């Protein structure tokens, strides 16, 4: 631990030198990367430097105890070391969590895709409820939501809705929301009061930067058409909607929410780029990490991850066995307790894995 903190301290000093160089400042991409690393290291060293000072004081007191010259000084050193042992243990536990490597995409914006699953109209209404829940959460946390594409349902809600979430650590905050969300409730259309079970899928992707994925324009087939609303009626008199097909993978992205064809094309390309990045990363993970299946971190979208039970007012996250009886507040965007519990479970699992591998 001590050597790691010393190396990080040296790295921070090197970053300070690099950030003062004009060439680095002129390269905005590199400057952003270095300032982000500087910020992360500074947070770790806010704990790491007091930890190093506590270790140094502890070693100095040990030398006094070994010399055993002045009884009063020895008693003082022994008493101080008892306090330092507690501090060092506390610092060590905090640093263990802080030193767990972050996912390289955690700092990025997120693209969230919500699709109605089994359950017909009720599934579409639930997809709309989830969209509202996430937008409320984003508003409360200072994230900006930018609608990219939507297919409304005739009875309310959405068959599909895709939106960009902009803000620091947006992907790292929401990445564990990927999966199948199940709802149990009495639909408005139910005349006999029976509880129905419906589902919607949520996919959370890191927003891909231009440097992440290189798309060959020759691999794209771009079609334009008139935007349409529920029931197929035209909502635009010009061919502003855009459908982009990535021929090598067969991925199709459609955007029609903007009145400008140019804006729809830009949004569609952004979604396509993120989907291609996700595909590449999944292929990489399957090769490198095929044997390790994390209950939280795999993002297995075929698995039911959460149930929203309206009659009992409860929400259960099945991955970590957490049940909360505050469904009304959660549907209003109060997701902090769920998200923090998932992040803690993920950190603890990584910590255990690191401890086992190093042991």
User: Does one domain contain both 319 and 188?
Assistant: yes
pLDDT tens series, the chain, 359 aa:
888 889 889 999 998 888 888 887 787 778 878 888 888 889 889 999 999 999 999 898 888 888 877 888 888 888 999 999 999 999 888 887 778 777 888 989 999 999 999 888 899 999 999 999 999 999 999 999 999 889 999 889 999 999 999 998 999 999 999 999 999 998 876 667 788 899 999 999 888 765 567 788 899 999 988 776 554 444 455 678 899 999 999 999 999 888 888 899 989 998 998 898 888 877 766 654 443 343 334 334 446 899 999 999 999 999 999 999 999 999 999 999 999 999 888 888 877 766 555 54
* H-helix segments, the chain: 2-19, 22-26, 28-67, 71-98, 121-140, 170-174, 261-288, 327-331, 336-358
Domain boundary among 63, 78, 98: 98
* Helix 28-67 with 2-19: angle, nearest 10 deg: 140
The CA R_g of the chain, rounded to the nearest whole Å, is: 26
User: Does one domain contain both 170 and 309?
Assistant: yes
322 falls within a domain: yes
Question: What sign does the CA torsion over 142, 148, 153, 154 have?
Answer: positive
User: Does one domain contain both 272 and 315?
Assistant: yes
94 Cβ contact list (under 8 Å, min separation 6) = 47
Residue 308 and residue 183 in contact, taking contact as beta carbons nearer than 8 Å: yes
226 falls within a domain: yes
Q: How far is CA 337 from the centre of its chain?
A: 15
Question: Distance of CA 343 to CAs 76, 97, 173, Å?
Answer: 42, 11, 8
Show the domain range for 59.
2-98
Residue 201 and residue 115 in contact, taking contact as beta carbons nearer than 8 Å: yes
353 falls within a domain: no
Residue 340: CATH number of its domain: 3.30.70.1660
User: Does one domain contain both 94 and 185?
Assistant: no
147 falls within a domain: yes
User: Does one domain contain both 82 and 62?
Assistant: yes
355 falls within a domain: no
User: Does one domain contain both 271 and 124?
Assistant: yes
- How many structural domains does the chain have? 2
User: Does one domain contain both 215 and 344?
Assistant: yes
DSSP-assigned states of every residue in 80-142: HHHHHHHHHHHHHHHHHHHTSPPPTTTTS-EEEEEEE-SSTHHHHHHHHHHHHHHHHHHHHTT
* Among the listed residues 349, 319, 324, the one whose alpha carbon sits nearest the alpha carbon of residue 176: 319
User: Does one domain contain both 131 and 239?
Assistant: yes
204 falls within a domain: yes
User: Does one domain contain both 115 and 83?
Assistant: no
Residue 50: CATH number of its domain: 1.20.58
* Among the listed residues 4, 12, 7, 2, the one whose alpha carbon sits nearest the alpha carbon of residue 37: 12
User: Does one domain contain both 76 and 148?
Assistant: no
Residue 342: what pLDDT?
A: 94
User: Does one domain contain both 212 and 279?
Assistant: yes
56 falls within a domain: yes
User: Does one domain contain both 6 and 130?
Assistant: no
């Amino acid at each position: 631990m001590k050597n790691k903190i010393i190396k990080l301290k040296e790295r921070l000093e090197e970053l300070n030198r690099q950030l003062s160089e004009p060439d680095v400042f002129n390269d905005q991409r590199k400057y952003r990367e270095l300032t982000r690393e500087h910020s992360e290291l500074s947070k770790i060293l806010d704990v790491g430097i007091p930890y190093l000072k506590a270790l140094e004081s502890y070693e100095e007191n040990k030398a006094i105890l070994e010399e055993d010259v002045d009884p009063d000084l020895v008693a003082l050193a022994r008493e101080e070391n008892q306090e330092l042992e507690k501090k060092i243990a506390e610092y060590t536990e905090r640093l263990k969590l802080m030193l767990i490597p972050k996912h390289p995409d955690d700092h990025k914006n997120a693209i969230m895709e919500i699709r109605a699953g089994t359950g017909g109209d009720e599934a579409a209404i639930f997809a709309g409820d989830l969209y509202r829940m996430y937008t409320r959460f984003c508003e409360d946390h200072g994230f900006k939501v930018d609608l990219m594409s939507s297919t409304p349902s005739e009875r309310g809600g959405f068959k599909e809705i895709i939106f960009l979430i902009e803000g620091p650590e947006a992907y790292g905050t929401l990445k564990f929301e990927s999966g199948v969300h199940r709802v149990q409730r009495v639909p408005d259309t139910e005349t006999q009061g029976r509880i129905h079970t419906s589902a919607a899928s949520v996919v959370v992707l890191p927003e891909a930067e231009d440097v992440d994925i290189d798309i060959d324009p020759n691999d794209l087939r771009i079609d334009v058409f008139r935007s349409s609303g529920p029931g197929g009626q035209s909502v635009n008199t010009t061919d502003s909607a855009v459908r982009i097909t990535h021929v090598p993978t067969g991925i199709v992205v459609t955007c029609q929410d903007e009145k400008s064809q140019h804006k729809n094309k830009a949004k569609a390309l952004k979604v396509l780029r993120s989907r291609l990045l996700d595909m590449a990363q999944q292929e990489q993970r399957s090769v490198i990490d095929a044997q390790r299946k994390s209950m939280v971190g795999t993002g297995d979208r075929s698995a039911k991850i959460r149930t929203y039970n309206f009659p009992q007012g409860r929400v259960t996250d099945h991955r970590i066995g957490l049940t909360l009886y505050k469904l009304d507040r959660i549907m209003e965007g109060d997701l902090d307790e769920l998200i923090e519990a998932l992040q803690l479970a993920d950190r603890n699992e990584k910590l255990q894995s690191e401890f086992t591998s190093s042991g």
